[in-house]
Chain A
Amino acid sequence: MWSLFLRDIRLSIRAGGGALIGVIFFLAVIVTIPFGVGPDLNLLARIGPAILWVAALLACLLGLDRLLQADREDGSLDLLVLNGDRHMLALTVLTKCLAHWTGSVLPLVVAAPLLGLFMNMQPLGIGATTLTLLVGTPAITFIGAAGAAVAVALPRGGLLISVLVLPLTIPVLIFGVSASYGAVADPAPFLQPFLILAALTLFLAVLGPLAAALALRHGTD
Chain B
Amino acid sequence: MRLIAENLGGERGGETVFSNIGFALDKGEALVVTGPNGAGKSTLLRIVAGLLPVAEGKVRFEGGGEASRTVASASHYLGHLNAMKTALSVEENLGFWRAFQGEPALSVEEALETVALGGLGHLPFGYLSTGQRRRASIAKLLVSRRPVWLLDEPTAGLDKASEERFAGLMRGHLDDGGIVVAATHLPLGLEGAKELQMGVGH
Binding site for B on A (CB under 8 A): 1-4, 6-7, 10-11, 14-17, 73-76, 78-79, 81-87, 218, 220-221
Quick check: B87 and A78 within 8 Å, CB to CB? no
Binding site for A on B (CB under 8 A): 12, 46, 49-53, 69-70, 72-73, 75, 77, 79-88, 92, 95-97, 99-102
**Residue with the highest number of chain B CB atoms closer than 10 Å, among A17, A78, A218:** A78
CA distance A6 to B93 in the complex (A): 11
Quick check: B77 and A82 within 8 Å, CB to CB? yes
Task: For the A-B complex with A15-B87, A78-B83 known, give 13 more contacts whose Cβ atoms are closer than 8 Å.
Answer: A3-B99, A6-B96, A7-B85, A74-B85, A75-B80, A76-B85, A78-B51, A78-B79, A81-B51, A83-B72, A85-B69, A86-B101, A221-B52
Quick check: A79 and B70 within 8 Å, CB to CB? no
Top 8 closest A-B pairs, CB basis? Answer: A75-B81, A3-B99, A85-B73, A75-B83, A14-B87, A76-B83, A7-B96, A220-B51
Q: List 29 A-B contacts (CB under 8 A).
A: A1-B100, A3-B95, A4-B96, A6-B96, A7-B85, A7-B92, A10-B88, A11-B85, A11-B87, A11-B88, A17-B87, A73-B81, A74-B82, A74-B84, A74-B86, A75-B83, A76-B85, A78-B51, A78-B77, A78-B79, A81-B51, A82-B50, A82-B75, A84-B72, A85-B72, A85-B73, A86-B102, A218-B53, A220-B46
Quick check: B87 and A83 within 8 Å, CB to CB? no
Instruction: Write out the residue numbers on chain B whose beta carbons fall within 8 Å of the beta carbon of A81.
Output: 51
Instruction: Write out the residue numbers on chain A whose beta carbons fall within 8 Å of the beta carbon of B50.
Output: 82
Once A3-B100, A78-B51, A86-B102 are accepted as A-B contacts, the answer to whether A14 and B88 lie under 8 Å apart by CB is: yes
Q: Least Cβ distance of B54 to chain A in Å?
A: 13
Quick check: A79 and B97 within 8 Å, CB to CB? yes
Instruction: Write out the residue numbers on chain B whose beta carbons fall within 8 Å of the beta carbon of A75.
Output: 79-83
CA distance A82 to B75 in the complex (A): 8
CA distance A204 to B98 in the complex (A): 31
Quick check: B85 and A79 within 8 Å, CB to CB? no
Instruction: Write out the residue numbers on chain A whose beta carbons fall within 8 Å of the beta carbon of B80.
Output: 75
Once A16-B87, A74-B81 are accepted as A-B contacts, the answer to whether A83 and B51 lie under 8 Å apart by CB is: no
Quick check: B88 and A82 within 8 Å, CB to CB? no
Tell which of B83, B87, B96 touches A3, judged by Cβ atoms closer than 8 Å.
B96
CA distance A4 to B99 in the complex (A): 9
Instruction: Write out the residue numbers on chain A whose beta carbons fall within 8 Å of the beta carbon of B70.
Output: 85
Quick check: A82 and B97 within 8 Å, CB to CB? no
**Residue with the highest number of chain A CB atoms closer than 10 Å, among B69, B95, B101, B102:** B101
